[in-house]
Structure 1
């Protein structure tokens, strides 16, 4: 009985049917063909596979795929790649800036000791008593020769060949001049309490903070190796990382810090890591 069932199934699959197309009016035969169920299944399967394959290729190789949810456009992929590279570059720049700012903060807080300045200086290094500043005879002759040639030492002047035009940070009377012999690498300008303090040139704020000795301090980097420092402020109006324009108000003058004896601005100007005389670049009158 089992055998007869298989034979019946095989007979159904292989039984041939003849399909004829006739003219409706004349009943004339146009064409005909024979087909069994097995052939229909085979042709149907092949046709389905080809149709699915062609559809997949058409969607994959044409812009049509961009209209399907889940696919991103080629332009979006390009923009995403560019953004990834930009973010990576910015992360590297931020890492360098963070390290630079961290070092500046350590210098301003006295954690890095490089040079012994007076009570208002930014950098502190070693005990001045440990250093022998007595010049030798050769050194004295050399210094005299350099001064006669109208040149300068590192702590007296810096290069004046700069494209930066500096403006006065505040108007007032200079009560203490820049003096490298006394290690006072700044000018002190007496003003009224809360007088606006302005930045001397375009730049970036690289440090803001408060110290017990110098009160509220703000440091601005101007490019070409120049950095300006403003101390003993009553308050600071800018945050670290802010971009400032020349003449923009950044703080108000005051008398904060243990080393201040009255309302004034303690202003320092540095070039390539060395203090310079601000009066060589700025007219405070």
Structure 2
């Protein structure tokens, strides 16, 4: 017990025993600065300095932009911006998906890739779950009157008036003799214009190219989307001068006339006009003869 107390006393004496720290001039041995220190003072100063250094570091990280340079930390502004950009990208992807689906359906119709099975598949699937015995197929008096009224009107009269209301000046894509007229009965939704080989084909109005590629039946095909739901199609070309996504002006050369594809018998332009997904007769709005 006495030995333990003696040891503690020696330790306390060592802690409070005074030392002098002297800084001398190496050449003249002149005393410049001197400090009286104890081991307890050194330990206390070291602990205090460490505490202050840690506190200062925490404050710098928490309340200054310096934390952005530390790996693993990011600013709230960057997080907010990243979140906003992610939402915008997601919205743009949805818009692009809808546009691609729309262009794909138009491409199938204009290139003749839509089959009867594709068009009627939804109807077939739905009617499989309906019993014919539970369906009343008889027409009401109102329905009969409506059918009679519709039959008396031109089938595409509404579409034709819609084009006139746009007040668009449609430019003839090429001048020449019409070899095949627009005929709904045989599903020829276009006019075939006979022209010489390598004749320039021009855009009928301002718009954006939504399809520019080769198809087996109609060769090199170019489709342009215009304002007011109007779409024009140019088929059997020898060469396409515009790509998908290009902006074109009225009368701008977009292709070279040719005789490509399986469904052709000579150099000509197969020209179609569509409004809101329905075909209209191009001759009602454009004069192709010189």
TM exceeding 0.5: yes
Matches within 5 A, 1:1-285: 3=4, 7-13=9-15, 15=16, 17=18, 36-65=38-67, 68=69, 80-113=82-115, 143-144=151-152, 146=153, 153=157, 158-162=162-166, 164-285=168-289
Cα deviation, residue 82, structure 1: 4.5
Give the match's secondary structure for 1:160.
helix
TM-score normalized with structure 1 length: 0.69
Contact 2:208–2:248 (CA under 8 A) maintained in structure 1: yes
Contact 2:159–2:275 (CA under 8 A) maintained in structure 1: no
In structure 1, stretches of 5+ residues that fail to align are: 20-32, 116-122, 126-135
Cα deviation, residue 95, structure 1: 2.0
Deviations 1:160-212 (A, max 9, x none): 21154322212223333323345332121111101111222222222233333
Matches of 1:159 and 1:167, distance apart in 2? 14
Shift in alpha-carbon separation, 1:38–1:282, aligned structure 2, 3 A:
farther
Shift in alpha-carbon separation, 1:165–1:78, aligned structure 2, 3 A:
farther
Matches of 1:277 and 1:83, distance apart in 2? 45
Cα deviation, residue 155, structure 1: 7.3
Cα deviation, residue 44, structure 1: 2.8
Give the match's secondary structure for 2:226.
strand
Cα deviation, residue 217, structure 1: 1.3
Cα deviation, residue 252, structure 1: 0.7
Match of 2:24? none
Contact 2:177–2:195 (CA under 8 A) maintained in structure 1: yes
TM-score normalized with structure 2 length: 0.68
Cα deviation, residue 231, structure 1: 0.9
Judging by fraction of residues, say which structure has more helix: 2
In structure 2, stretches of 5+ residues that fail to align are: 21-34, 121-143
